[in-house]
């Protein structure tokens, strides 16, 4: 049961503003990159880094859902369309306590399936997400958006679609390292083993839920590039997608 908190609520930002210039040779008025894939696949960190390197806007759809989910748990209003355009470093606070990181916690994350399956919630999120896909919404030359159905539903005509995946063990190990790095005190070997096994089970359950849900299930778009990162470093997977982007942004010789 969620804590009966009262919220002093400030919506967090969902996008990262452009920080570098776009690639030479870019001729398309607006280049959209859709990155989909299963849970714990590194989509958000990859998309965020890629956007910074390309000078594109980054839209964090997971945070959009988590914003609605966390607000639901706190009985607080979710962000409006204008809230997502606020300057960087907007934080989420509860009773004057910064909980920006907590909305990414396993407790909150496990609630995503129930919230995301609601047709009214998905319809509203879809409307917001598509609103970002036009050049008039930003001065950046393009957009990077990651999620479960970006290439199949949100932007079926995206200039580049990537399905980012990895073996279950690889995804679990990456997420486990992230969680252990955030532990205030080290866990015992037995506690680490229990935590890892629980994480594997949680990711497996999330995969099944995402693939079988009636509303916007996780599927690979027919024209999406499949990128298995099981044996790749983070830098390698970002570079692989950046290579695809720059190749498509470069005008074909006449």
**Which of 250, 249, 247, 224 is CA-nearest to residue 43?**
224
Distance CA 37, CA 165 (A): 5
Distance CA 36, CA 241 (A): 13
CATH match for 15-249 among 3.40.50.9100, 1.10.3720.10, 1.20.140.10, 3.40.50.300: 3.40.50.300
Give Cβ neighbours of residue 198 (< 8 Å, ≥ 6 apart).
none
Note the pLDDT of residue 60: 81
201-215 per-residue burial string, b: 16 or more CB within 10 A, e: under 16: ebbeebbebbeeeee
**Which of 236, 220, 216, 205 is CA-nearest to residue 164?**
220
Check residue 99 and report its DSSP letter.
-
Burial class, 246, CB count within 10 angstroms (exposed 0-12 / middle 13-18 / buried 19+): middle
Distance CA 98, CA 166 (A): 32
Residues 115-127: pLDDT tens digits?
Answer: 666 778 778 888 8
pTM for the structure as a whole:
0.72
The residue-averaged pLDDT of 18-35 equals 60
| Most trustworthy range by pLDDT among 9-23, 70-84, 164-178 | 164-178
- Tell me the β-bridge partners of 163: 36, 226
* DSSP labels, 55-74: T-EEEEHHHHHHHHHHHHHH
Residues 141-155: pLDDT tens digits?
Answer: 999 999 999 999 999
Note the pLDDT of residue 93: 52
Cα–Cα distances in Å, from 143 out to 13, 129, 176? 15, 11, 29
Q: 14: pLDDT confidence band, cut at 50, 70 and 90?
A: very low
Domain boundaries, the chain: 15-249
């Amino acid at each position: 049961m969620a804590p009966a908190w009262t919220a002093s609520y400030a919506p967090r930002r969902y996008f990262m503003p452009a920080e570098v210039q776009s690639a030479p040779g870019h001729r398309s008025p607006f280049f959209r990159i859709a990155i989909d894939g299963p849970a714990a696949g590194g989509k958000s960190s990859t998309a965020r880094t890629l956007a910074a390197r390309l000078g594109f806007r980054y839209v964090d759809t997971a945070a959009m859902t988590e914003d609605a989910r966390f607000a639901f748990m706190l009985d607080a209003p979710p962000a409006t369309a204008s809230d997502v355009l606020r300057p960087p470093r907007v934080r989420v606070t509860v009773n004057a306590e910064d909980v920006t990181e907590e909305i990414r916690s396993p407790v909150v994350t496990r609630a995503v399936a129930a919230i995301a399956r609601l047709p009214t919630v998905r319809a509203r999120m879809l409307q917001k997400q598509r609103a970002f896909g036009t050049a008039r919404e930003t001065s950046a030359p393009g957009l990077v958006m990651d999620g479960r159905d970006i290439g199949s539903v949100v932007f079926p005509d995206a200039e580049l679609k990537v399905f980012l995946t990895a073996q279950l063990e690889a995804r679990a190990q990456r997420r486990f390292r992230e969680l252990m790095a955030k532990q205030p005190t080290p866990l015992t070997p037995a506690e680490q083993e229990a935590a890892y096994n629980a994480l594997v089970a949680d990711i497996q359950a999330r995969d099944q839920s995402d693939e079988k849900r009636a509303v916007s299930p996780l599927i690979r778009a027919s024209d999406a590039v499949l990128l298995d990162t099981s044996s790749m470093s983070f830098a390698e997977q970002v570079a692989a997608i950046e290579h695809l982007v720059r190749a498509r942004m470069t005008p074909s010789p006449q």
